[in-house]
């Protein structure tokens, strides 16, 4: 396998009408790498993925892609209507929109989609309407659609947003398996402890790239405070890094009664709240 990068963002500045979202981002994605992009809401994570895909205008810098690079994208599941009248198999086969003109799939396409669904453990759902799926199943369907395009690089936007711990483990395990088979993966996540800390490489983003490296290099209080704008601490537990919030004096708990078990200055693992503005739970 060539060591040539699959994709390089070189000093990329991009955004939308009148609004710059990502500034001077330089990131290289190599073959069979597994990268997590973390940062608070509005930090430009999705825009960064779109810059890689080429669906957002680049104002400065350049995006280089390996010639004939096959890339797939898995959006957040909430971006589509799951009440849409299609089955799981039809959704997966959307990956084959280009090429064949006829509305119905060929036998080869059907076989390939069935094999993929089987590999992802949802073969029995093929004929089922997508409106009947759970959150984890929806994620697998999107993943199957992305994989049907036989990508070398797959980009996932918040693949574990809104799913329970068990589903998060499933998704992480699934992605780990695909990575082990040689697929390059870039994903965005809010979940520092449940997701990002398990990845070999993390990019911290807040409009610009704050840090880029292994979890041990990147998950430091200084980098995290610059990324999230809040004081965070990093603990080590059983060889794993755990990011915890550190409430400052005068912070939200200061007004609580003295008898409250979480006193000022106590270290409290973060919870992924509704806004998910802060890093995820331990």
Name residues whose C-beta falls within 8 Å of residue 205's C-beta, 6 or more positions apart in sequence: 22, 25, 37, 38, 39, 43, 44, 45, 48, 227
Binding residue count for other proteins, defined by CB under 8 A: 43
Other CB atoms closer than 10 Å to residue 272's CB: what's the count?
19
Which span (17-25, 176-184, 231-239, 274-282) binds other proteins, by CB under 8 A?
17-25
Q: How far is the CB of 55 from other proteins (least distance, A)?
A: 5
Q: How far apart are CA 101 and CA 23, in angstroms?
A: 40
Task: Report yes or no: 22 and 13 within 8 Å, Cβ to Cβ.
Answer: yes
Task: Report yes or no: 277 and 39 within 8 Å, Cβ to Cβ.
Answer: no
Among 6, 7, 9, 21, binds other proteins (CB under 8 A): 21
Q: Is the CB of 131 or the CB of 263 nearer to other proteins?
A: 131
Verify binding: residue 154, other proteins, rule CB under 8 A: no
Q: Is the CB of 27 or the CB of 282 nearer to other proteins?
A: 27
Q: How far is the CB of 169 from other proteins (least distance, A)?
A: 25
Verify binding: residue 84, other proteins, rule CB under 8 A: yes
Verify binding: residue 137, other proteins, rule CB under 8 A: no
**Which residue has tokens 């200055």?**
265
CA angle 73, 226, 221 (to 5 degrees): 105
Verify binding: residue 139, other proteins, rule CB under 8 A: no
Q: How far apart are CA 52 and CA 22, in angstroms?
A: 12
Q: How far apart are CA 107 and CA 104, in angstroms?
A: 9
Among 17, 237, 257, 274, binds other proteins (CB under 8 A): 17
Among 4, 11, 26, 42, binds other proteins (CB under 8 A): 42
Q: Is the CB of 117 or the CB of 154 nearer to other proteins?
A: 154
CA-closest candidate to residue 190, choices 218, 163, 160: 160
Q: How far is the CB of 14 from other proteins (least distance, A)?
A: 10
Report the interface residues with other proteins, using CB under 8 A: 16-17, 21-22, 42-47, 50, 53-56, 71-75, 78-81, 83-87, 90-91, 94-98, 100-101, 103, 129, 131, 145, 149
């Amino acid at each position: 396998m060539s060591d040539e990068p699959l994709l390089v963002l070189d000093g990329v500045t991009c955004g939308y009408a009148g609004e710059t979202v990502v500034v001077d981002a330089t990131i290289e994605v190599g073959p069979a790498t597994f990268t997590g992009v973390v940062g608070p809401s509005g930090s430009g994570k999705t825009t960064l993925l779109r810059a890689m895909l080429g669906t957002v205008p680049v104002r400065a810098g350049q995006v280089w892609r390996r010639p004939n690079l096959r890339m797939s994208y898995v959006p957040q599941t909430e971006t589509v209507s799951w009440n849409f009248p299609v089955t799981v198999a039809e959704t997966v086969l959307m990956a084959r929109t280009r090429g064949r003109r006829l509305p119905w799939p060929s036998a080869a396409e059907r076989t390939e989609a069935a094999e993929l669904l089987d590999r992802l453990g949802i073969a029995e759902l093929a004929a089922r309407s997508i409106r009947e799926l759970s959150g984890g199943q929806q994620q697998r369907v999107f993943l199957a659609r992305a994989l049907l395009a036989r990508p070398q690089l797959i980009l996932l936007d918040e693949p574990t947003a809104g799913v329970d711990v068990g589903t998060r483990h499933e998704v992480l395990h699934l992605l780990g398996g695909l990575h082990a088979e040689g697929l390059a993966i870039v994903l965005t996540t809010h979940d520092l402890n449940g997701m990002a800390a398990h990845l070999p490489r993390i990019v911290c983003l807040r409009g610009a790239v704050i840090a880029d490296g292994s979890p041990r290099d990147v998950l430091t209080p200084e980098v995290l405070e610059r990324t999230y704008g809040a004081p965070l601490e990093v603990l080590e537990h059983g060889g794993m890094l755990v990011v915890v919030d550190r409430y400052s004096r005068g912070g939200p708990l200061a007004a609580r009664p003295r008898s409250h078990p979480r006193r000022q200055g106590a270290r409290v693992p973060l919870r992924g709240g509704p806004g998910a503005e802060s890093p995820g739970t331990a």
